[in-house]
């Protein structure tokens, strides 16, 4: 007959008055963590006991139960109940649900350890879903945070995670994606897009970084710190129905504006209003855009605002205050002791004088009537107004009597005197019609003094020109000013033709290059140009202005004007090898290189615009082979980003930006002769040396030690 299995008997549950319970010192939990005792007490007061205490009867020396109990497991719950009793929120004899263990099979330490070891913490995903259920049941974020003693931000994070695609949540539950990745997916609320991104990156472990997931989910959005988003503002964008994606787990600088088309529409609508307000200020025209290409003001003359003139009453008051201030200041200078009253009066008068001097700047209304303004957005999203530009067609024309006659369609008189109708078909020889009196012939007195013939004027002024050229060649300083005068006229007075020097300056604006206006070099050139432009007088007075400059200022202005004509651009249809070589020689002369100028390879300016092979080559050259192998398996967009990070501080430059050293330029003139000579010398020496020494003599063989040192330097920099 088969023996029946013995049935398990569980420990009975009883309600024991709290004042009969004592906390055991045999609880294995000695380090307190998790929810604090006061928070646990508040939770018990709210929902009651949801977990019983584990207790054992106390026994006397004879092994008999004394009627009191020890609590070896559940010490934190016991302390929470004890706190409620002290706060008089619970009676001291309140029955407490307990599981009474009278078994001798285990000890109290064993029970305490088992309770803690066999307990499994709640899976984070279960907590996220539970918070979501509570939210769906009508509890707001603040109530949930207060109930579970966490911050509202934590609750928002949990609720955000719970809204990720169920497919991705299942993968997280199966530990196929990490919490960091799940947090990255929560940036977008579009489940289809989340799953699409996961499908794209799931097969490549190197593309599963959280930052890359965020980038893919926001690649069609506009960052909140973008100039367009700052200009419109989050409030106006959301009021128009736009949605802003937020990252609750990382610093997102305000999130991402999801609807780029809506944002662009709002930008142009606001720009239109701002442009109309500027135009109503008296400008002839206003052009508004998010950004303008570099050199968009080329060919336009710039006017500047001047301090507002003072009225007659203001001038009189200014003179009176100035006189009073000077007299009081002179008197105070002669006094031996300080006088607070006089000092206060001087401060008062000085403040009033400052008010006269700090006049608002205004434009001449007559100039505003023919000038215009460009409105764009600065990098910080603020409205940027560039005012005072006059187009060529709006320049005022200075008309003379001769111009008026020519404008009426009459030909200028180029004859050699009065002509009769019979002379219409006269034969002309050497510029003179036959049968006419020559210039030396006596003319009737009643005809008066006739104008000089054009031909004679040409001959005379040609002689003057050559003589003046010869004289100018011996006066270097004046020649320098003359060339500077011609350059300044073309740079700052686009339509003035007031120079006798036939020097033409060409300045390419390269407006087709995106983002060129935002570079530090473009901004520095613009600031320098504007500073000089404000100093320029009217074009007829320019010569005297240049003569009045000190030598250092004159040279600085010359360098500025000359620099604007420099062109080192290599174009596929116009490579200009001689000009490019000259640009490199010029750069070497002034010890220029792009690294010192602040250029570094980025995704936008180089790495994102070349092939993967080029990217790997750049990293190999800048950081060594080991660094190149770190990225050679990546997809292009991730590879470009990682390459930009690796190349930071490497001083690497692409070929078009590299310059030959002074030694290389000097050596290039005799490269062929030296190569032939060296080859002959090496051949002779090699014949007298052992084989292994002869190989070392070959300059074409790289030195392994130097290469190894260079590679080590790159690896250390990469690390």
- Report the C-alpha gap between 55 and 70 in whole angstroms: 5
User: What's the distance, Cα to Cα, between the start and end of the chain in Å?
Assistant: 76
Section 478-488 average pLDDT: 81
Beta carbons within 8 Å of 437's beta carbon, 6+ residues apart: 443
- Report the C-alpha gap between 189 and 217 in whole angstroms: 10
Read out DSSP for 325-342? HHHHHHHHHH-SS--HHH
**Secondary structure letter of residue 574 according to DSSP:** B
Q: For residue 189, is pLDDT > 80? A: no
Element (H, E) at 306: strand 306-307
Q: What is the reported pLDDT for 676? A: 38
- Report the C-alpha gap between 482 and 461 in whole angstroms: 19
Partners of residue 56 on adjacent β-strands: 70
- 231 pLDDT band (50/70/90 cuts)? very high
Q: What is the reported pLDDT for 90? A: 92
- Report the C-alpha gap between 122 and 561 in whole angstroms: 73
Q: For residue 109, is pLDDT > 90? A: no
Which tens digit of pLDDT belongs to each residue from 31-50?
Answer: 555 557 888 888 888 888 88
Query: Which of the two residues, 492 and 641, has the higher pLDDT score?
Result: 641
Q: 């790159």: which residue's tokens?
A: 714
Which tens digit of pLDDT belongs to each residue from 367-403?
Answer: 889 999 999 988 888 898 999 999 888 888 765 444 4
How high is the mean pLDDT of the chain?
Answer: 75
Beta carbons within 8 Å of 13's beta carbon, 6+ residues apart: 52, 97, 98, 99, 100
Q: What is the reported pLDDT for 117? A: 67
Which tens digit of pLDDT belongs to each residue from 135-146?
Answer: 778 888 787 777
- Report the C-alpha gap between 644 and 641 in whole angstroms: 5
- 286 pLDDT band (50/70/90 cuts)? very high
Q: Answer for the pair 300, 371: CB distance below 8 angstroms, yes or no.
A: no
Section 233-242 average pLDDT: 90
- 466 burial type by CB count under 10 A (0-12 exposed, 13-18 middle, 19+ buried): exposed
Which tens digit of pLDDT belongs to each residue from 567-606?
Answer: 788 777 777 777 778 778 778 877 888 888 888 888 888 8
Q: For residue 682, is pLDDT > 60? A: no
- 84 pLDDT band (50/70/90 cuts)? very high
Section 249-277 average pLDDT: 83
Query: Would you state the structure tokens that stand for residue 228, as one six-digit string?
Result: 């367009």
Query: Given strand 256-257, what is the order of strands in its sheet?
Result: 222-223, 256-257, 244-245
Q: What is the reported pLDDT for 616? A: 92
Query: Would you state the structure tokens that stand for residue 657, as one six-digit string?
Result: 């930006």
Q: For residue 272, is pLDDT > 50? A: yes
- Report the C-alpha gap between 548 and 481 in whole angstroms: 11
**Which conformational region is residue 10 in: left (phi greater than 0), alpha (psi within -120 to 50 degrees), or beta?**
beta
**Secondary structure letter of residue 451 according to DSSP:** P
Share of the chain above pLDDT 90, in %: 9
Q: For residue 438, is pLDDT > 80? A: no
Torsion angle in degrees (nearest 10) through CA of 635, 641, 644, 648? -130
Which tens digit of pLDDT belongs to each residue from 492-529?
Answer: 876 667 777 777 777 776 766 777 777 787 888 888 88
* CB atoms closer than 10 angstroms to residue 242: 20
Q: For residue 457, is pLDDT > 50? A: yes
- 475 pLDDT band (50/70/90 cuts)? confident
- 701 burial type by CB count under 10 A (0-12 exposed, 13-18 middle, 19+ buried): exposed
Query: Would you state the structure tokens that stand for residue 262, as one six-digit string?
Result: 């809506």
- Report the C-alpha gap between 253 and 247 in whole angstroms: 9
* CB atoms closer than 10 angstroms to residue 297: 17
Q: What is the reported pLDDT for 679? A: 43
Q: For residue 661, is pLDDT > 80? A: no
Query: Would you state the structure tokens that stand for residue 565, as one six-digit string?
Result: 């004509």
């Amino acid at each position: 007959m088969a023996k029946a299995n013995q049935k398990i008997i569980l420990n009975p549950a009883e309600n024991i008055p709290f004042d009969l319970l004592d906390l055991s010192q045999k609880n294995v939990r000695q380090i307190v963590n998790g929810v604090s005792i006061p928070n646990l007490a508040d939770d018990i007061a709210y929902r009651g006991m949801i977990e019983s205490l584990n207790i054992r009867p106390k026994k006397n020396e004879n092994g008999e139960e004394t009627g009191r109990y020890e609590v070896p497991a559940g010490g934190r719950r016991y302390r929470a109940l004890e706190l409620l009793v002290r706060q008089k929120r619970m009676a001291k004899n309140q029955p407490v649900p307990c599981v009474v263990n009278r078994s001798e099979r285990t000890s109290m330490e064993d029970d305490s350890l088992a309770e803690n070891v066999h307990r499994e913490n709640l899976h984070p995903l279960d907590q996220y879903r539970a918070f979501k259920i509570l939210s769906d049941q009508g509890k707001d974020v603040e109530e949930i945070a207060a109930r579970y003693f966490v911050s509202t931000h934590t609750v928002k994070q949990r609720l955000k995670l719970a809204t990720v695609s169920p497919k991705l949540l299942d993968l997280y539950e199966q530990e196929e994606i990490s919490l960091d990745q799940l947090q990255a997916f929560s940036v977008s609320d579009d489940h289809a897009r989340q799953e699409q991104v996961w499908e794209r990156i799931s097969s490549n472990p190197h593309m599963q970084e959280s930052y890359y997931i965020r980038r893919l989910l926001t690649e069609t959005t506009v960052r909140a710190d973008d100039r367009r988003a700052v200009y419109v503002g989050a409030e106006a964008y959301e009021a128009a129905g736009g949605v802003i994606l937020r990252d609750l787990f990382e610093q997102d600088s305000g999130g991402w504006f999801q609807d780029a088309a809506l944002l662009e529409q709002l930008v142009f609508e606001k720009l239109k209003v701002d442009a109309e307000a500027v135009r109503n200020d008296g400008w002839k025209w206003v052009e508004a855009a998010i950004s303008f290409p570099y050199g968009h003001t080329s060919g336009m003359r710039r006017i500047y605002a001047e301090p507002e003139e003072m009225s007659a009453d203001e001038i009189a008051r200014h003179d009176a205050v100035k006189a009073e201030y000077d007299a009081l200041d002179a008197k105070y200078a002669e006094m031996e002791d300080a006088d607070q009253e006089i000092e206060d009066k001087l401060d008062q008068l000085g403040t009033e004088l400052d008010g006269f001097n700090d006049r608002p700047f205004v434009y001449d209304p007559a100039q505003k009537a023919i000038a215009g303004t460009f409105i764009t957005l600065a990098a910080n999203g603020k409205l940027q107004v560039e005012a005072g530009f006059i187009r060529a067609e709006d320049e005022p024309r200075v008309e003379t009597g001769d111009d008026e006659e020519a404008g009426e369609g009459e030909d200028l008189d180029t004859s050699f005197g009065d002509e009769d109708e019979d002379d219409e078909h006269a034969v002309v020889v050497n510029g003179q019609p036959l049968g006419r009196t020559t210039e030396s012939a006596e003319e009737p007195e009643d005809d008066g003094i006739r104008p000089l013939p054009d031909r004679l004027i040409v001959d005379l002024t040609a002689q003057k020109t050559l003589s003046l050229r010869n004289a100018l060649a011996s006066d270097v300083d004046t020649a320098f000013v003359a060339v500077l005068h011609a350059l300044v006229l073309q740079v700052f007075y686009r339509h003035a033709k007031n120079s006798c020097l036939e020097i033409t300056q060409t300045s390419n604006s390269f407006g087709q290059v995106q983002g060129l206006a935002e570079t530090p070099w473009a901004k520095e050139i613009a600031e320098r140009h504007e500073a000089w432009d404000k100093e320029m007088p009217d074009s007829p007075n320019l010569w005297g202005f240049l003569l009045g400059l000190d030598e250092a200022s004159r040279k600085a202005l010359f360098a500025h004007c000359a620099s604007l004509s420099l062109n080192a651009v290599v174009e596929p249809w116009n490579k200009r090898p001689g000009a490019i070589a000259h640009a490199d020689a010029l750069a070497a002369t002034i010890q220029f290189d792009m690294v010192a100028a602040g250029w570094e390879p980025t995704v936008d300016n180089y790495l994102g615009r070349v092939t993967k092979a080029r990217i790997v080559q750049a990293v190999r050259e800048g950081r060594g082979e080991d660094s190149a192998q770190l990225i050679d398996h990546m997809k292009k967009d991730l590879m470009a980003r990682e390459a930009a990070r690796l190349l930071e501080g490497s001083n690497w430059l692409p070929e078009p930006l590299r310059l030959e050293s002074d030694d290389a330029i000097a050596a290039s003139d005799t490269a062929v002769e030296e190569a032939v000579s060296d080859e002959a010398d090496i051949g002779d020496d090699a014949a007298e040396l052992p084989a292994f020494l002869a190989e070392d003599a070959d300059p074409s063989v790289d030195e392994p030690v130097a290469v190894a040192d260079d590679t080590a330097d790159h690896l250390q920099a990469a690390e």
